[in-house]
Structure 1
Amino acid sequence: IMEDFRLVPLVTLAAFLLLCCRSSSARPEASTCGYNACPKPVPGRVNVHLVPHTHDDVGWLMTVDQYYYYQVQFILDTVVEELLINPDRKFTYVEIAYFFRWWREQSADKQAKVKQLVQNGQLQFAQGGWSMDDEAATHYVDIIDQHTQGLRFLNDTFGDCGRPRVAWQVDPFGHSKEHAAMMALMGYDGLYFGRIDYQDQAIRRKTRRMEMVWRASQDIGSPQTDLFSGKLYDGYCQPGGFSFETGDQPVQDDPQLYDFNVEQKVKQFVDMVNTRRQVYSSDHLMLTMGCDFQYQNARKNFKIFDKLIKAVNNRTAAHNVTVYYSTPSCYTKSVHDQNLLWTVKSDDFYPYGFDAHSFLTGFFTSRAALKRYVRTASNQFQAVKQTACLAGLQRDGAEAEERIDPLRQALGVVQHHDGVSGTERQLVAYDYALRISNGIDRAYPVLQSALANLTGDSAAYSGMSTCGLANISYCPFTDSNTDFYLHFYNPVSHPVWHLARIPVTGRYYVVSDEHGQAVMSQTIPVNNGTLRVPERAGAKSTCELVFNVSAIPAMGFAVYRVAAAAPGSPGVSTFTPIRLLFGGYGRGKISASKTKADWLSQHTGCGVPSMAYYYGYPGNNSRAEFRASGAYVLRPTRQTPEQFSLEQIAGVFGPVVNETHLLWSDWAYQVLRKFSNNGDSLQYNENELTVGPIPYDANTGREVIVRYDSQLSSSATFYTDANGRQVMRRVRDYRPSWPLQQTEKVAGNYYPVPSQIFINQSDGASFTVLTDRSEGGSSINDGQIEIMLHRITARDDALGLGEALQEKGSDGRGLVVKVTHWFAADQSLSSASRRRRELANRRYREPLIGYLTAEPKVKRWSGLRRPLPENVQVVTLDDWRGPNTKLLRLEHLYQTGEHPALSQPVTVALGQMFATFDILGAMELSLAANQYLASMQRLQWRTTAAGGSADQNAAREAVERRQLDQNLTVTLRPMQLRTFVVQVQYL
């Protein structure tokens, strides 16, 4: 059978894969779930969709565990009991991280009852990700992974009846265009959110444009990435007067008792409905009846709702309002069926301000260390999954998956909009970091086992170590070893060049490549900025060993040897001390003279990226004009940053790298690096910035930035990426969707920078900065790029967190953060685009370094039989429902028109792509892998702006399916993400 797999007819292949991997519906679909379970609207009336729901943050003021055992378990317990009482009742649930926990605790009888509630449409899920993720600081790989995780659980447990029909992003602080595009590609029919800028909302209310069609990717096109999107009237909680769980007056319908109020409550309800419906276009109105962690006493809510529905509907003739239990998906279907014409939005919803002085742009940078930790953990997660698949570890049992799962869950939880966003309390941030750390510890043996399996060398890899604090030159392994091997695993689908920087205890070493040839290397003393980091306590390293690792194989590895040597030995490293050039203790501050500026420009290859800081406004939050800078809000006291006085300039000159060290203060240290040409066509400079402990007093916080001055004429325009993928054009003091009244020059011009920010000049010149984590950035002045690095605040901003942002290091003082940027200038837009795309891909998927004492048998290996085309990347390679079934995602890295060659469609063959197995058959899935693409049918919407043809799209997809079925080839168009379940045969 396996040998004839490619020849199996499509319908048989689908059935085969369904049994193997259950990646689509796992059981017959009941006719009463999905849209079939929706109440029938009443024509000619105002149809009010009463939507009971709860919003359960996966960590914020308490940890995820605390929220679960204090509150969430009781919500699900009581909701289920109340749904079983009355078949008309409905409830919507979102956060699968909680539902998964609760489900495991239920008896078989309770699980059967819950399945029936899902089958008959009473219990519905919205979004269905592991968490309701942030949209500013998240990376697209993490967004996809956490949705795949949640939706996979729902599909396994409830089949297609458990599939959410709409996305529910009601609490994040701004909304990303790329996130919306991915929601469309996951198959959602609608998206709802609770927050948009106050100026935008005012205009939309006046013009009845609170709902629209979001055209979320011009590259992939319409209708594939068109998404019906709606702004909830006033957030996601109940209307005023109808929050019965928190003490609002209930419906009292017994005339024999005092306080009989049916007429009063009906009038209050109808008046509220009539007010709200004035800002929407259809005959339908959705009322969200729930809020944070509500329904711990579901009986109270549902009993009163039953009375309210009955009272309103008994008086419909008087007010023409009909109300019934509903869900966001049922509301979406009802609105769709009216076949109205909708306006189109093609920009995004950043930045988000809720009044004239409260722009939620501080969280783009808040908890910078956690943001970096999430990024590095995600990269390790991808590498572990890749190697486990390539090695076929699942053939030996489920241990590998069980070891990987804690990291999968930890990363799914931290994507939450009060997780990686940095808007959680300090104890919760610690909890997120602990979960990630434990997850990495659990998953690392899988990497060791996979490499041992791939190379047949368990002796070497069983002792492989990692150094998680190498960025601060702390590595216990190199503290105690002077002759060792370095294993560089490259998760990228192409060979990469890597500049290694290894903490060492000596000055002289010989570095040998996989062929035993000496590699040019250089040792540099650990700089003063790093030496002051308190987490280095106990470190013995005195130097950093720097060398180039050339062309690490695609999805593979190279092994180098490092051995201590005597000075003058053949191939020995060059020791390059840090030499003081200008300034010094007792010499006073350095003046900004032309001599110093010329020297810096000569030795860094650019203008000087300078450090500065804003003072955060210490308001009391009593009114908008007194809003304090906090974990969410960025609000500088002055719109011009405070400048440091440069104290010292030092230099390092060597064969691998030249460095310029700038001491701005005892808490701000900067190292600019210019690398020698190592054969890599993608050259760049590096800027390492060590910030902290930031001085603090009771009245003043500080927001630390770096400014790059390119001298380009950028015409108030700059560009940032959205979640690591499509690029967004930004114009200072401007919004594409409405006439902006700018009230905060800095905060109102800050945008998320998940991976890159750049400016262009009309002649094609470009200047780019690539970040190592998500940060906030802008171009406050023409020719400049400004990025916020680290921040502390003196006050809370009164948005619910209840504590100021004041992170502490291991010594109890302010946290020290080390940030690294890559930056480069280009003379043409096409060369700049190639550099940005390739380096951003490398930046996220950095090589993983393993430290070994035993010499590995295999020094160089690739998991691909040949590198993929330069514009194609394997996003996901993961085990899926059995040892011979895998989940494979591919992406096109470029947008339309970015590069004359690399922005073109590209075709790849799947069959013999990987080195350890053949792909025998494939079926294409939705982006989140919970539907077969061929059967995915999304609602189509009429729009005021012409889009693509649904028929043309269907025809193109049919061609792609034939291409996949007949010869296992896949064509990727610009920005396209394609997901497959594949059947493999190991070699």
Structure 2
Amino acid sequence: MEGFRLVPLVTLVAFLLLCCRSSSARPEASTCGYNACPKPVPGRVNVHLVPHTHDDVGWLMTVDQYYYYQVQFILDTVVEELLINPDRKFTYVEIAYFFRWWREQSADKQAKVKQLVQNGQLQFAQGGWSMDDEAATHYVDIIDQHTQGLRFLNDTFGDCGRPRVAWQVDPFGHSKEHAAMMALMGYDGLYFGRIDYQDQAIRRKTRRMEMVWQASQDIGSPQTDLFSGKLYDGYGQPGGFSFETGDQPVQDDPQLYDFNVEQKVKQFVDMVNTRRQVYSSDHLMLTMGNDFQYQNARKNFKIFDKLIKAVNNRTAAHNVTVYYSTPSCYTKSVHDQNLVWTVKSDDFYPYGFDAHSFLTGFFTSRAALKRYVRTASNQFQAVKQTACLAGLQRDGAEPDARIDPLRQALGVVQHHDGVSGTERQLVAYDYALRISNGIDRAYPVLQSALANLTGDSAAYSGMSTCGLANISYCPFTDSNTDFYLHFYNPVSHPVWHLARIPVTGRYYVVSDEHGQAVMSQTIPVNNGTLRVPERAGAKSTCELVFNVSAIPAMGFAVYRVAAAAPGSPGVSTFTPIRLLFGGYGRGKISASKTKADWLSQHTGCGVPSMAYYYGYPGNNSRAEFRASGAYVLRPTRQTPEQFSLEQIAGVFGPVVNETHLLWSDWAYQVLRKFSNNGDSLQYNENELTVGPIPYDANTGREVIVRYDSQLSSSATFYTDANGRQVMRRVRDYRPSWPLQQTEKVAGNYYPVPSQIFINQSDGASFTVLTDRSEGGSSINDGQIEIMLHRITARDDALGLGEALQEKGSDGRGLVVKVTHWFAADQSLSSASRRRRELANRRYREPLIGYLTAEPKVKRWSGLRRPLPENVQVVTLDDWRGPNTKLLRLEHLYQTGEHPALSQPVTVALGQMFATFDILGAMELSLAANQYLASMQRLQWRTTAAGGSADQNAAREAVERRQLDQNLTVTLRPMQLRTFVVQVQYL
């Protein structure tokens, strides 16, 4: 692209348009989208009959098993039936399956399917790789998996393949941040099948089953307003009309026995009249499908044709008209009635479907998988970043082919029976295997990128990783005593990192990138870690701990580690674990004031204590006998069982002081207080090793940690939503209705994807940051409680069919190692800064590479200068062609969190990155499948006071001019902006 800077702007814009269009998409017809919708009949009850299937991408079987046992036949037969009758319509959702099926079709079949899409007969809803969970997912993964699915639809079908509505009909509760992102992706509506039973009862009585969700007060209306509807009774067919599962079909031949047209019409009209009483418009959506249905699409459509004909032939008698439709057509019809809607500004957590069945256990279920997803996601972002910075696609290295297996594995596991932990054990193994294989395929891309960036293939071709370093197992360091550590920082600012490296000796010299010795400390591998069965074969006896200072933004620093003799200059300090209180054979430790004072002195707060609930082993015959299971949290007692502390041990050194607490032979805790390393964001660390949890046939255990801050928190605490917005929680309270609390613990648990905190009226705050999504609460004032690991004695009878009993590699039970960061602040603004910055670091932890050869370049940044502290590069990915990239930026703060960092901030794109210039940019929707300037969402009238829409529209116009004229971008609090950029490598 030599001379690109001289190209006129008009030509540049045309080029970018070309880059973003799909070369495979056919010319658009005018009959798709809303133009393909049936015309409503004024003055009548318009019934939208919506054929669909719900295809879990893993649950009771693996994603591939479901595909070859069931899903391929669904798509085969549905397509054939749509081709028979142009009035028929069908809605499909899970693109992970459609992608598999599409690859197998002949060119002729693909052409026919494209015509069905162009006709509006085959429509897609949501369009993500999976129908994701909303509690345990991180916003980066949500965006990525939707971008992946929607890109495939755009590449394959053009704009006719673009879903108009989000379809979250099966997740177990709904997140406000997720809804905000759906709005920013351009959806006109959102439909879900599950809300709390008390909430639903009130909404039915008041005809508020549909509303406008104001999903972000920071970004504002109408950008994050989303029309949202609760389906009448889940996403299945109405009772009596599930023809695939044996309900009586329409028999319209009078020459045969059992002629039942009048009976079925009356049954249908009665059902419609009952359902429409809880909705406000003249339209009613009937979902006609369920899990993995339409394997015999012929049966369904043939009976539907008869039912539609019979009902419509008798419209004069009952004023009901029925026709094939889709969720998007229903949305447009309701919109066109121009009604005024109530608004919602909170979320739909926790979700209870009866008085004793709160689906809050899954916030923690399969804690190890939840952590694996989080670490794999971080690695995925780092690989994409470095591949773009190195220009691997430009050099013909085809990084996408090697990255795609990890992209697809992460897309699948975001499923609401994936990272949620509500799948069967064999399926959990399959998810983990896919992620592992994806990482193995993607890691050479990271090696190639670093080799290209530094001109040093000799060093990086042999770079290794240690995926089990958290349990002090690293084959590389088992066999090497003189090596280099490569720390890659995905954050857009320099970060400080406390490295903890498994080693086989006690004495090492650590040197920074300038060859200067760094203060270091070796600590014996603790007893909690030594008992982890996956350590079998590990040779490491110690952990080498040191600070890595100011790793460059989106860059790296290289340190050297070399074994040395005791007393050598700069050698590490060996600090044994010293027994302080208790001991085997001495009995339990009493709760004496002396020991409590000692713990407070050495941890900086009251000791976080471990405890557990016994899970209720019910038989599920009635609500009051609901068992605790993979979905449901239901403790037998509402107060946890306390461990008796058996040992306290200590480590005292120049880098970190540690307090080791042995609660039992399956519960071990290490509290760490770090020396001041120059980082302005200090914190303490709490490492908890849990398992194997004792199991008996009648009782499960739900293990927690409690932090006692001594703050007066007034029954109020705060949790994040998907790693972004903070949600205010009040114990035994719901903002949307007067709660009748029936489960003190389970009914107060909320998802904690990254942070939970409590405040006091004077501004004092206490925060805990998690390393994965967990369940948490504040059951008592001043306390934060987080669930770490759980097993159950029973299934909770919600379809899984097996108890949650992870056996681990040795069959004795899974051991989980969890790490929290916690800190106290005296002002809300300092607490907000600490929370936001550390949560960003927790997700984007430095990736550590292990090398035997000395790299030529020891320090490098992918940014010419760090971005402002409140801005983060969310995505840097290859897009269409070697010189076109996808770039996402975010503002990390909410309005009012910090006097300076919550202000709008402007960033210049042109010379942001070290290896290329950005020559032009066009803004896209959040999921990158529409140009923002042409995105026209349906607008809804609400009961809320207006006034911000015009102001926001004017502000967006200014932002577009900034981008067009000088490639600058202004980010307002919580704003996420997506661009396709044209680059020229330097």
TM-score in terms of structure 2 length: 0.99
Q: What is the match of residue 738 of structure 1?
A: 737
Query: How far off is 1:18 after superposition?
Result: 2.2
Query: How far off is 1:447 after superposition?
Result: 0.1
Unaligned regions of 5+ residues in structure 2, if any?
none
Contact preservation (8 Å) 1:23, 1:931: no
Distance in structure 1 (CA, Å) of the matches to 2:83 and 2:879: 35
Q: In 2 relative to 1, CA 743–97 (structure 1 residues): closer, same or farther, beyond 3 Å?
A: same
Distance in structure 1 (CA, Å) of the matches to 2:944 and 2:400: 47
Query: How far off is 1:119 after superposition?
Result: 0.2
Distance in structure 2 (CA, Å) of the matches to 1:506 and 1:947: 67
Query: How far off is 1:395 after superposition?
Result: 1.1
- CA deviation string 1:718-750 (max 9, x = no partner): 000000000000000000000000000000000
- CA deviation string 1:77-97 (max 9, x = no partner): 000000000000000000000
Instruction: Name the SS of the counterpart of 1:49 in structure 2.
Output: strand
Q: What is the match of residue 200 of structure 1?
A: 199
Query: How far off is 1:22 after superposition?
Result: 2.3
Instruction: Name the SS of the counterpart of 2:3 in structure 1.
Output: helix
Q: Which moved more, 1:576-585 or 1:17-26?
A: 17-26
Q: What is the match of residue 683 of structure 1?
A: 682
Query: How far off is 1:794 after superposition?
Result: 0.1
Q: In 2 relative to 1, CA 24–350 (structure 1 residues): closer, same or farther, beyond 3 Å?
A: farther
Instruction: Name the SS of the counterpart of 1:978 in structure 2.
Output: strand
Contact preservation (8 Å) 2:473, 2:539: yes
Contact preservation (8 Å) 2:383, 2:446: yes
- CA deviation string 1:129-182 (max 9, x = no partner): 000000000000000000000000000000000000000000000000000000
Distance in structure 2 (CA, Å) of the matches to 1:745 and 1:472: 35
Q: What is the match of residue 827 of structure 1?
A: 826
Distance in structure 2 (CA, Å) of the matches to 1:20 and 1:633: 48
Q: Which moved more, 1:392-401 or 1:2-11?
A: 2-11
Q: What is the match of residue 229 of structure 2?
A: 230
Distance in structure 2 (CA, Å) of the matches to 1:751 and 1:590: 33
Contact preservation (8 Å) 1:5, 1:921: no
Distance in structure 2 (CA, Å) of the matches to 1:121 and 1:700: 53
- CA deviation string 1:867-918 (max 9, x = no partner): 0000000000000011000000000000000000000000000000000000
Distance in structure 2 (CA, Å) of the matches to 1:190 and 1:425: 32
Query: How far off is 1:20 after superposition?
Result: 2.4
Q: In 2 relative to 1, CA 251–778 (structure 1 residues): closer, same or farther, beyond 3 Å?
A: same
Q: Which moved more, 1:180-189 or 1:959-968?
A: 959-968
Contact preservation (8 Å) 1:23, 1:930: no
- CA deviation string 1:697-722 (max 9, x = no partner): 00000000000000000000000000
Contact preservation (8 Å) 1:690, 1:816: yes
Instruction: Name the SS of the counterpart of 2:393 in structure 1.
Output: helix
Q: Which moved more, 1:513-522 or 1:952-961?
A: 952-961
Contact preservation (8 Å) 2:916, 2:985: yes
Query: How far off is 1:399 after superposition?
Result: 2.6
Task: Indicate the RMSD between aligned Cα atoms, in angstroms.
Answer: 1.0
Query: How far off is 1:25 after superposition?
Result: 10
Contact preservation (8 Å) 2:921, 2:980: yes
- CA deviation string 1:661-708 (max 9, x = no partner): 000000000000000000000000000000000000000000000000
Distance in structure 2 (CA, Å) of the matches to 1:829 and 1:36: 51
Contact preservation (8 Å) 1:18, 1:24: no
Contact preservation (8 Å) 2:755, 2:770: yes
Instruction: Indicate the percent of aligned positions where both proteins have the same amino acid.
Output: 99
Instruction: Name the SS of the counterpart of 1:884 in structure 2.
Output: strand
Distance in structure 2 (CA, Å) of the matches to 1:493 and 1:230: 38
Q: Which moved more, 1:27-36 or 1:367-376?
A: 27-36
Contact preservation (8 Å) 1:223, 1:948: no
Contact preservation (8 Å) 2:764, 2:828: yes
Distance in structure 1 (CA, Å) of the matches to 2:870 and 2:949: 27
Contact preservation (8 Å) 1:926, 1:933: yes
Contact preservation (8 Å) 2:24, 2:156: no
Distance in structure 2 (CA, Å) of the matches to 1:186 and 1:789: 33
Query: How far off is 1:400 after superposition?
Result: 1.1
Q: In 2 relative to 1, CA 947–397 (structure 1 residues): closer, same or farther, beyond 3 Å?
A: farther
Contact preservation (8 Å) 1:24, 1:159: no
- CA deviation string 1:552-595 (max 9, x = no partner): 00000000000000000000000000000000011100000100
Query: How far off is 1:214 after superposition?
Result: 0.0
Contact preservation (8 Å) 2:220, 2:948: no
Query: How far off is 1:27 after superposition?
Result: 4.4
Distance in structure 2 (CA, Å) of the matches to 1:794 and 1:747: 17
Q: In 2 relative to 1, CA 285–635 (structure 1 residues): closer, same or farther, beyond 3 Å?
A: same
Query: How far off is 1:397 after superposition?
Result: 2.2
Q: What is the match of residue 608 of structure 1?
A: 607
Query: How far off is 1:10 after superposition?
Result: 5.9
Distance in structure 1 (CA, Å) of the matches to 2:985 and 2:394: 10
Query: How far off is 1:948 after superposition?
Result: 4.5
Contact preservation (8 Å) 1:221, 1:948: no
Instruction: Name the SS of the counterpart of 2:958 in structure 1.
Output: helix
Query: How far off is 1:444 after superposition?
Result: 0.2
Distance in structure 1 (CA, Å) of the matches to 2:948 and 2:26: 33
Q: In 2 relative to 1, CA 337–4 (structure 1 residues): closer, same or farther, beyond 3 Å?
A: farther
Query: How far off is 1:312 after superposition?
Result: 0.0
- CA deviation string 1:177-211 (max 9, x = no partner): 00000000000000000000000000000000000
Q: How many residues align?
A: 986
Contact preservation (8 Å) 1:38, 1:326: yes
Q: Which moved more, 1:397-406 or 1:601-610?
A: 397-406
Query: How far off is 1:23 after superposition?
Result: 6.7
Distance in structure 2 (CA, Å) of the matches to 1:71 and 1:14: 45
Distance in structure 2 (CA, Å) of the matches to 1:232 and 1:705: 35
Distance in structure 2 (CA, Å) of the matches to 1:155 and 1:960: 26
Instruction: Name the SS of the counterpart of 1:393 in structure 2.
Output: coil
Q: In 2 relative to 1, CA 187–541 (structure 1 residues): closer, same or farther, beyond 3 Å?
A: same
Distance in structure 1 (CA, Å) of the matches to 2:500 and 2:22: 43
Contact preservation (8 Å) 1:24, 1:932: no
| 1:818-967 paired onto structure 2 within 5 Å | 818-967=817-966
Contact preservation (8 Å) 1:251, 1:308: yes
Query: How far off is 1:950 after superposition?
Result: 3.7
Instruction: Name the SS of the counterpart of 1:715 in structure 2.
Output: coil
Distance in structure 2 (CA, Å) of the matches to 1:952 and 1:33: 33
- CA deviation string 1:276-312 (max 9, x = no partner): 0000000000000000000000000000000000000
- CA deviation string 1:960-987 (max 9, x = no partner): 1110011000000000000000000000
Query: How far off is 1:13 after superposition?
Result: 3.3
Distance in structure 1 (CA, Å) of the matches to 2:86 and 2:721: 43
Q: In 2 relative to 1, CA 338–422 (structure 1 residues): closer, same or farther, beyond 3 Å?
A: same
Contact preservation (8 Å) 2:188, 2:227: yes
Distance in structure 2 (CA, Å) of the matches to 1:524 and 1:78: 63
Instruction: Name the SS of the counterpart of 1:764 in structure 2.
Output: coil
Query: How far off is 1:9 after superposition?
Result: 6.3
Query: How far off is 1:398 after superposition?
Result: 5.4
Distance in structure 2 (CA, Å) of the matches to 1:180 and 1:3: 43
Q: In 2 relative to 1, CA 76–643 (structure 1 residues): closer, same or farther, beyond 3 Å?
A: same
Query: How far off is 1:933 after superposition?
Result: 0.2
Q: In 2 relative to 1, CA 8–25 (structure 1 residues): closer, same or farther, beyond 3 Å?
A: farther
Contact preservation (8 Å) 1:23, 1:929: no
Instruction: Name the SS of the counterpart of 1:659 in structure 2.
Output: strand
Query: How far off is 1:809 after superposition?
Result: 1.1
Contact preservation (8 Å) 1:690, 1:818: yes
Contact preservation (8 Å) 2:22, 2:156: no
Query: How far off is 1:19 after superposition?
Result: 1.7
Distance in structure 2 (CA, Å) of the matches to 1:217 and 1:4: 43
Q: What is the match of residue 759 of structure 1?
A: 758
Distance in structure 1 (CA, Å) of the matches to 2:822 and 2:603: 11
Contact preservation (8 Å) 2:22, 2:158: no
Instruction: Name the SS of the counterpart of 2:595 in structure 1.
Output: helix
Contact preservation (8 Å) 1:615, 1:636: yes
Query: How far off is 1:21 after superposition?
Result: 3.5
Contact preservation (8 Å) 2:483, 2:560: yes
Unaligned regions of 5+ residues in structure 1, if any?
none
Distance in structure 2 (CA, Å) of the matches to 1:6 and 1:198: 60
TM-score in terms of structure 1 length: 0.99
Distance in structure 1 (CA, Å) of the matches to 2:281 and 2:933: 31
Instruction: Name the SS of the counterpart of 1:378 in structure 2.
Output: helix
Instruction: Name the SS of the counterpart of 1:403 in structure 2.
Output: helix
Contact preservation (8 Å) 1:50, 1:326: yes
Instruction: Name the SS of the counterpart of 1:396 in structure 2.
Output: coil
- CA deviation string 1:219-268 (max 9, x = no partner): 00000000000000000000000000000000000000000000000000
Query: How far off is 1:949 after superposition?
Result: 4.3
